[in-house]
Structure 1
Amino acid sequence: MSSYDPRPSGCTPFEEELINAMNDFAHSTDSPAFDTAGMVHRTRRRRATLIAGFAAALIAAGGGTALASISGSASQTTPAATTVDHAKATFLLGGLTKEPIAVDLTGQDLATAKGQFEKAQLKLGTIVKVVSPGCKSATVVELTPHSPKIVVNGDTVDVKLCAG
């Protein structure tokens, strides 16, 4: 018995016609063609692009955070009197970005300076107290080497503090 043969009794002519129409429709339509290789390729390319975008955003956010933490405390302090030379108390940290990062320690206490050196992975050299007009006692007035020289991870920086 095929789908086109008349049905045994029990089916109304309407039901027979409906079944025949459904069979004709099912056998006449083309099945959809899927380009599975293309779909997989697009999915992998989109996934790779998305992962690369997230990685770039995380690197940018992490790098920005690291740079802000190195130079952040220097910008939060009040500068010393105008007689202190800021260039002598500023070091240029190289090796993190294309351009070196200026970190100004003018007027900072020794503990803050040590923290900045640790963040920048620099070694603290000799600490000397000097008499300098217009500075607050026990604050940084000069670093060696200072800007325009560039220091990198592992370098030693000497500190001169105000004697008061």
Structure 2
Amino acid sequence: MSSQDPRSSGCTPFEEELIDAMKNFAHSTDSPAFDTAGMVHRTRRRRATLIAGVATALIVAGGGTALASRTGSTTPTTAEKPMTTATAKGSDYKRAILLLSYGKQGPVAVDFTGTDLQTAQGQLLKAGLHLGTVVKTESPGCKQATVVEVTPHAPKIVETGDTVNLKLCAG
């Protein structure tokens, strides 16, 4: 037989050699070993890192949004705003805080605590609100003739044209 003659199996010597090499390779290789515990640990660590990163980005974006709404050109300037930022003054501090609607910017807190009647009237007028009833009431630890409560107070949001009632300290 010559090298070109087919063998009894119907394959050329090259084909037989190739088949033998593939069989040897298939039977000699080890199955791959997987470190499943290590893979699970890495996956959990990556997931935790991703969640922390997304949470940080949301916090930063939220803080940036709050800063942008305070400094943006659509927000009224300090001279136009009829209020100051609300601060805690004892357990009843919310009673003298008015939430004033500013359209897309959302509600803005107006703290009337300790302001006199004339100043409060000016702030209400500037905000486009109407002054309703003014009543004097006994309240411990307040300065006479200053605002101790507004109605409606936070968390109710007041729109332009609404009426606001004031309670002043009797002394």
Q: TM-score w.r.t. structure 2 length?
A: 0.52
CA distance change for structure 1 residues 150 and 135 in 2, over 3 Å: closer, same or farther?
A: same
Q: Deviations over 1:40-88 (max 9, x none)?
A: xxxxxxxxxxxxxxxxxxxx436331686222xx35xxx89x5572200
Q: Which amino acid aligns with 2:150?
A: L
Between the two proteins, the alignment pairs up a number of residues equal to 100
1:150 aligns with 2:162: no
1:120 aligns with 2:132: no
Aligned to 2:137: 130
* CA distance in 1: counterparts of 2:153 and 2:162, whole angstroms: 12
1:96 aligns with 2:108: no
Q: Which runs of 5+ in 2 are unaligned?
A: 1-71
Aligned to 1:13: none
**Contact kept? 2:75, 2:105, Cα under 8 Å:** no
Aligned to 1:18: none
Q: Which runs of 5+ in 1 are unaligned?
A: 1-59
Instruction: Give structure 1 regions of 4+ aligned residues with deviation exceeding 4 angstroms.
Output: none
**Contact kept? 1:84, 1:134, Cα under 8 Å:** no
CA distance change for structure 1 residues 123 and 131 in 2, over 3 Å: closer, same or farther?
A: same
Q: TM-score w.r.t. structure 1 length?
A: 0.54
Residue identity over aligned pairs, in percent, reads 53
CA distance change for structure 1 residues 63 and 99 in 2, over 3 Å: closer, same or farther?
A: closer
Shift of 1:104: 0.3
Aligned to 1:65: 77
Q: Deviations over 1:90-140 (max 9, x none)?
A: 100014334200000000000110011011100000000000000000000
CA distance change for structure 1 residues 67 and 98 in 2, over 3 Å: closer, same or farther?
A: farther
* CA distance in 2: counterparts of 1:67 and 1:97, whole angstroms: 19
CA distance change for structure 1 residues 143 and 151 in 2, over 3 Å: closer, same or farther?
A: same
Compare relative contact order (CA 8 Å, sep 6+) and give the higher one, 1 or 2: 1
